[in-house]
């Protein structure tokens, strides 16, 4: 890759950020498309994100993906906020306009729906209630995206019931809250179960989800992608349920960001999923 006087710079900001797969994905797409651009990782001080964003106003970089712990702050700092970012109360994408304005968006919902469509062909969010595990930022964005996509009901299942109730009330639509102990009841008749908690992430305990209570037609998705087949997905597969993994969501949320930064859709034929899998399998320091 040659860096020129016209190279378009974008990147991801988070803390920690060094293990992010986004640079790998975006730079592979840039190389495949022959675009004069680069995508780098930034690690602003945890209390210095506002300063960092201010310094980029006017187009020092074209845009940023934003990850933990800056997604909520990113929304507040932006001058323009898309409806889906507002609904999620978080932004994973900031675009810096030449006039100094900053636009915030959230592509996580698109990534989730895209992953479902890709790995569970024929799945329709309108097909039935959807059980969502968790009530943090990821769950909030997912619930809003599912309601917007026509889900007749979203059942938010969380360890702390009060948090589930807050998210259900904020998102509105047909959202209901369930404590984790009532997961079996929440799973009855669902079209899908989606995990939006970090449970099952490498090295962390997974919870025992009573997937037996789901209909045979239910799709089970995990936003965690390390390991690729989480204990939840392994159990779903053992029960014969269709599954959708978090890596597909990661790749699919990246595509609209790429387009926002570089003005072109990701090129066909670059297997970023395979590259990401290889990177995940390598022991990382
Ligand atoms: P994010 O912004 O990535 O969604 P978060 O805001 O920290 O992360 O939210 C994490 C969610 O996962 C919470 O809903 C949390 O449950 P609580 O509200 O009870 O804290 C849930 N969570 C985390 N670890 C969990 C575990 N081991 N079992 C069940 N739920 C878990």
Distance 136 CA to ligand 1 centre (A): 6
In this structure, what token pair is assigned to residue 141? 């964005």
Q: Are 130 and 190 in contact (CB under 8 A)?
A: yes
Reported as a single tens digit per residue, the pLDDT across 139-178 is 999 999 999 999 999 999 999 999 999 999 999 889 999 9
| CATH architecture, domain 8-106+249-281 | 3-Layer(aba) Sandwich (3.40)
Separation of alpha carbons 113 and 96, rounded Å: 26
Contacts of 133 (CB under 8 A, 6+ apart): 139, 157, 158, 183, 193, 194, 195, 196, 197, 199, 207, 209
Distance 123 CA to ligand 1 centre (A): 26
**CB of 197 closer than 6 angstroms to any ligand 1 atom:** yes
β partners of residue 243: 220
In this structure, what token pair is assigned to residue 118? 């890709």
**Which residues of the chain form CATH 3.40.50.720?**
109-244
Reported as a single tens digit per residue, the pLDDT across 247-262 is 999 999 999 999 999 9
71 tagged catalytic: yes
Q: Are 195 and 244 in contact (CB under 8 A)?
A: no
Q: How confident is the model at residue 284 (pLDDT cuts 50, 70, 90)?
A: low
If we measure between CA atoms, which residue out of 199, 202, 194 comes closest to residue 242?
194
Collapsing DSSP to helix, strand or coil, 224 comes out as: coil
**CB of 134 closer than 6 angstroms to any ligand 1 atom:** yes
pTM of the full structure = 0.93
Reported as a single tens digit per residue, the pLDDT across 33-89 is 999 999 999 999 999 999 999 999 997 899 999 998 999 999 999 999 999 999 999
Separation of alpha carbons 94 and 213, rounded Å: 40
- Residue 210 pLDDT greater than 90, yes or no: yes
**Which residues of the chain form CATH 3.40.50.10860?**
8-106+249-281
**CB of 200 closer than 6 angstroms to any ligand 1 atom:** no
Distance 197 CA to ligand 1 centre (A): 5
**CB of 220 closer than 6 angstroms to any ligand 1 atom:** no
Which residue has a Cα nearest atom 3 of ligand 1? 138
Which residue has a Cα nearest atom 18 of ligand 1? 160
If we measure between CA atoms, which residue out of 179, 190, 180, 244 comes closest to residue 212?
190
In this structure, what token pair is assigned to residue 46? 């945890």
Q: Are 243 and 144 in contact (CB under 8 A)?
A: no
Q: Which fold has domain 109-244?
A: Rossmann fold (3.40.50)
**CB of 92 closer than 6 angstroms to any ligand 1 atom:** no
Q: Give the per-residue pLDDT at 154.
A: 98
Reported as a single tens digit per residue, the pLDDT across 111-123 is 999 999 999 999 9
Q: How confident is the model at residue 285 (pLDDT cuts 50, 70, 90)?
A: low
Ligand 1 atom having least distance to the Cα of 207? 28
**CB of 63 closer than 6 angstroms to any ligand 1 atom:** no
Report CA torsion sign: 192, 194, 199, 202.
Answer: positive
Ligand 1 atom having least distance to the Cα of 196? 4
For the chain, the average pLDDT equals 95
Q: Give the per-residue pLDDT at 149.
A: 95
- Go through the chain and tell me how many residues it has: 285
If we measure between CA atoms, which residue out of 5, 14, 150 comes closest to residue 72?
14
Ligand 1 atom having least distance to the Cα of 139? 4
Mean pLDDT of 88-92: 92
DSSP assignment, residue 185?
H
β partners of residue 157: 133, 178
- Residue 199 pLDDT greater than 90, yes or no: no
- Residue 1 pLDDT greater than 70, yes or no: no
Q: Give the per-residue pLDDT at 201.
A: 80
Per annotation, catalytic residue among 26, 62, 71, 84: 71
Contacts of 246 (CB under 8 A, 6+ apart): 115, 221, 222, 223, 224, 225, 226, 228, 230
Mean pLDDT of 229-248: 97
β partners of residue 8: 37
- Residue 6 pLDDT greater than 70, yes or no: yes
Reported as a single tens digit per residue, the pLDDT across 261-276 is 999 999 999 999 999 9
**CB of 209 closer than 6 angstroms to any ligand 1 atom:** no
If we measure between CA atoms, which residue out of 187, 75, 197 comes closest to residue 138?
197
């Amino acid at each position: 890759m040659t860096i020129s006087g016209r190279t378009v710079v974008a990147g991801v900001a988070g803390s920690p950020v060094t293990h992010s797969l986004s640079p790998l994905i975006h730079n592979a797409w840039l190389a495949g498309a022959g675009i004069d651009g680069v995508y780098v990782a930034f690690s602003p001080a945890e209390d210095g994100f506002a300063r960092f964003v201010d310094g980029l106003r006017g187009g020092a970089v074209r845009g940023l993906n934003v990850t933990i712990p800056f997604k909520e702050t990113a929304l507040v700092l932006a001058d323009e906020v898309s409806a889906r970012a507002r609904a999620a109360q978080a932004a994973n994408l900031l675009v810096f306009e030449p006039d100094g304005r900053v636009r915030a968006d959230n592509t996580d919902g698109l990534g989730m729906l895209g992953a479902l469509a890709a790995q569970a062909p024929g799945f329709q969010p309108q097909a039935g209630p959807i059980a969502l595990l968790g009530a943090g930022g990821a769950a909030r964005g997912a619930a809003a995206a599912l309601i917007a996509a026509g889900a007749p009901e979203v059942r938010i299942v969380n360890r702390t019931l009060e948090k589930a109730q807050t998210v259900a009330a904020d998102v509105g639509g047909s959202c209901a809250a369930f404590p984790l102990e009532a997961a079996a009841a929440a799973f009855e008749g669902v079209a899908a179960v989606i995990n939006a908690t970090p449970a099952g992430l490498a090295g962390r305990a997974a919870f025992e989800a009573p997937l037996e209570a789901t209909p045979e037609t239910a799709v089970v998705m995990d936003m965690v992608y390390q390991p690729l087949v989480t204990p939840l997905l392994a159990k779903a597969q053992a029960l014969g349920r269709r599954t959708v993994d978090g890596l597909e969501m990661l790749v699919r949320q990246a595509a609209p960001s790429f387009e926002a930064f570089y003005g072109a859709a990701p090129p066909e034929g670059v297997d970023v999923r395979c590259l990401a899998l290889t990177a995940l399998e390598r022991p990382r320091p």
